[in-house]
Amino acid sequence: MKMKKAKNCVICNVRKGKRFCVKENDFICSRCCGLIRDTQLCPNDCPYLGSLIEKKETGELPIYKVLMTTPKGSRSILVAREKENGNLQFVSFMVDEWKMGLKDCFGNYDISKREFNKLVARMPQYADADIDECKEMVKRGVLIAETLGLKIPREFREFKHILGDLDKVEVTGSLYKCFKCGKGDLPDEIVEQIKEVTLHDVAAGVCGTEDETMIFFVCDKCRGEKEEVRVEKRVEVIEEEVE
């Protein structure tokens, strides 16, 4: 007797479809199930819905590490929480705070501390960060990507709850912030210019390459401080000449 082979998942068409999905009315793989599963859209009797509810609750697990890369620009944010078995779950975000917003996301629900620390060691530019600051940066990154019409990584939906509740995080002021201080607002015309350049680079496929257009703008406050420094230096030179 020949065994009937499982056909490919109707969503990704790559992995084998072993789970019957009521919403798709067909078989899907476990990965796609995890990505599209939703407590509001899936039927209550779905046998795989319980694991989703359990995962959402893991946002309350104790924080093990909150890290962020220090160079400005494309920031990598890493948040790890400790499970009862001593292992970790973590989520990593790549946020281009000056142009594209949220670019990438991945995570893991069960990794040893040793393996996690080895992962962090590969990125020597990581430094301890504030969880609230990370939440604000990620949510702003999502807003930027959505405003530009860019695709949000599918993994974001699966792993974002590890970061914590983003619904209560407020994103205020201009879409993009000052390059120098990271907090000051930019005028609307500057924001529109950044959006135009970003969409041009995305269409040209040069984002993240040496051909990418590098543009930086500072807020009025930082621009004023820079001008004051120039005046002070000029005064020093004049005084030396007089002496």
Last residue of one domain, picked from the residues 163, 189, 217:
163
54 within 8 A of 61, measured Cβ to Cβ: no
Rounded Cα gap, residues 186 and 66, in angstroms: 28
What is the pLDDT at residue 112? 93
The confidence band for 49, taking pLDDT boundaries of 50, 70 and 90, is low
* 110 and 193, same domain (yes or no): no
What is the model's pTM? 0.69
Euclidean distance between the first and the last CA atom of the chain, given in angstroms as a whole number: 103
* Total number of domains in the chain: 3
Last residue of one domain, picked from the residues 163, 194, 210:
163
Residue 38 belongs to domain spanning: 8-46
Summarised one tens digit per residue, pLDDT across range 78-108 is 999 998 889 999 999 999 998 999 999 999 9
What is the number of helices (H) and of strands (E) in the chain? 7, 7
What is the pLDDT at residue 24? 82
What is the pLDDT at residue 232? 46
